[in-house]
Amino acid sequence: MILTERKLLKGMKKGVGINRDQARVLGVNIRESGWKNNIIDTEFPTESYNLFVRLKGKKPFDREKILAKYPAPVSEKEYFDALEIVYRYNKDHHITTPQVV
């Protein structure tokens, strides 16, 4: 599916921002200037977009639950991309063991 500006805004909390996990799903660095313009009108898997919208406005604990159900990827690249997404930080901000999906 093509990610239009309207679809991007649908996944943004109050139309102004996205959280860290949403950025990872879209594969963008939100600290870079112009990240929105770089992804508008580009092709994204429907699964990734649906996950992006489901993560909208969720607190970190709830996002962790959603990401734990992330469907198993098919290619090696998708596997490692998904594995990066499920790394979690505990309350002390230490990296915990990743959950293999």
Name which of 61, 47, 76, 71 is nearest 19 in CA terms: 61
| Contact between residue 70 and residue 86 where contact means Cβ atoms under 8 Å apart | yes
Write out the two tokens for 53: 């919208």
H helical segments located in the chain: 5-10, 20-26, 35-39, 46-54, 60-68, 76-85
Q: What angle do CA 25, 3, 38 make, to 5 degrees?
A: 75
| Distance from the Cα of residue 75 to its chain's centroid | 18
Q: What is the pLDDT of residues 1-27, one digit of tens each?
A: 898 999 999 988 877 788 888 888 888
Q: What is the pLDDT of residues 25-38, one digit of tens each?
A: 888 888 888 888 88
Domain ranges across the chain: 2-85
Q: What is the pLDDT of residues 45-83, one digit of tens each?
A: 888 888 889 889 888 888 888 888 776 444 556 656 665
